[in-house]
């Protein structure tokens, strides 16, 4: 059964912008007859108890999901096997650059700022051996293209840069761009709905899926929630989580529904109103109560 999904990282409680994106992912899936599956991306920045609170908050909003929650940390063998497969095909190389070195390195005029400049792509074996004595190597994809195009339900055709993206970090943790591709395919996800801050990541993930002979999902990147200063909403902006807002008497479902132009009481009612063509295209500016 094809599916949509929501895949939070358990680094803390979900804020109302995260909850709104989860609602939209659920609506996209349920309105199209798909299953809706849940994954906890627990490979990095895990705060004790956060995942359980996140799942409880989603259920409290009236969202349900099919099957068991997938914990990404249980997929280590599959992640490692994919890196090995790409390596055996000559599509990886060791990289010893720090994030700062990549950001500070000059890039070609036609590449966006921060694109990997190829520093370690063609090191000799002797050079690699010398670098290994200084720091552990990350594994990067040896990309065969400079850009890739995907189709997004809200943004149309999107073409973005594809550099030699990291597949496994120097500390051995598989990178997001790899795990999201593998785990979506594993869960039967053929529809990815998420914040539009990840829009330019979709082409590189679609390209990687193609290399791994996995299906490329459809995409819908929805507007983010911002604070009144125009920055991404965050915990420091005050009462922004479900528990905090309810404590102040805020009806969070009404708040989310109004931001999307819905009049019903909750997700089940919103299914009858849901039309992707009518969704707001601008960011949602949230002004939490003091």
CATH class of the domain whose range is 77-176: alpha beta
Q: Is 5 labelled a binding residue?
A: yes
What is the rounded CA–CA span in Å between residue 134 and residue 54? 40
Q: Is 219 labelled a binding residue?
A: no
User: Where do the domains of the chain lie?
Assistant: 3-68+223-285, 77-176
Query: Do residues 276 and 24 touch, judged by C-beta distance below 8 A?
Result: no
User: Residue 177's closest CA among 187, 169, 167, 191?
Assistant: 167
Q: Is 41 labelled a binding residue?
A: yes
> Domain spanning 3-68+223-285 has what CATH number?
3.40.50.620
Q: Is 42 labelled a binding residue?
A: no
pLDDT in tens, the chain (290 residues): 899 999 999 999 999 999 999 999 999 999 999 999 999 999 988 899 999 999 999 999 999 999 999 999 999 999 999 999 999 999 999 999 998 888 888 766 667 777 898 999 999 999 999 999 999 999 999 999 999 999 999 999 999 999 999 999 999 999 999 999 999 999 999 999 999 999 999 999 999 999 999 999 999 999 999 999 999 998 888 889 999 999 999 999 999 999 999 999 999 999 999 999 999 999 999 987 76
Q: Is 207 labelled a binding residue?
A: no
Phi, psi (degrees; rounded to nearest 5) at 48: -55, 130
**pLDDT score at 146:** 93
Contacts 24+ apart (CB under 8 A), 246-249: 248/289
pTM (two decimals): 0.94
Q: Is 197 labelled a binding residue?
A: no
What is the rounded CA–CA span in Å between residue 192 and residue 214? 14
Q: Is 116 labelled a binding residue?
A: yes
Q: Is 289 labelled a binding residue?
A: no
First to last CA, the chain: 44
Q: Is 97 labelled a binding residue?
A: yes
**pLDDT score at 239:** 85
**pLDDT score at 113:** 72
**pLDDT score at 236:** 84
């Amino acid at each position: 059964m094809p599916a949509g999904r929501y895949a939070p990282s358990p680094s803390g409680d979900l804020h109302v912008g995260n909850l709104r994106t989860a609602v939209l992912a659920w609506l996209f899936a349920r309105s199209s007859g798909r299953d809706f599956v849940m994954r906890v991306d627990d490979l990095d920045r895990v705060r004790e108890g956060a995942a359980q609170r996140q799942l409880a908050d989603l259920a409290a909003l009236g969202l349900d999901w099919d099957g068991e929650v997938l914990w990404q940390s249980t997929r280590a063998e599959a992640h490692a096997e994919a890196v090995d497969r790409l390596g055996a095909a000559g599509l990886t190389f060791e990289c010893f650059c720090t994030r700062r070195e990549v950001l500070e390195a000059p890039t070609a005029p036609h590449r966006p700022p921060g694109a990997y400049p190829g520093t370690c792509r063609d090191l000799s074996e002797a050079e690699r051996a010398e670098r290994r004595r200084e720091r552990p190597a990350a594994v990067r994809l040896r990309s065969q293209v400079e850009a890739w195009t995907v189709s997004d339900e809200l943004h149309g055709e999107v073409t973005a840069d594809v550099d030699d993206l990291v597949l496994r970090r120097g500390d051995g943790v598989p990178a997001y761009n790899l795990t999201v591709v593998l785990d979506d395919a594993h869960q039967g996800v053929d529809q990815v709905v998420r914040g539009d801050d990840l829009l330019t990541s979709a082409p590189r993930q679609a390209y990687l899926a193609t290399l791994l002979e996995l299906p490329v999902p459809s995409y819908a990147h929805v507007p983010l929630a911002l604070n009144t200063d125009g920055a991404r909403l965050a915990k420091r902006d005050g009462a922004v989580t479900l528990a905090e807002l309810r404590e102040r008497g805020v009806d969070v479902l009404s708040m989310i529904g109004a931001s999307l132009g819905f009049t019903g009481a909750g997700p089940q009612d919103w299914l009858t109103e849901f039309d992707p063509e009518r969704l707001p295209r601008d960011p949602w500016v949230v002004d939490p109560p003091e």
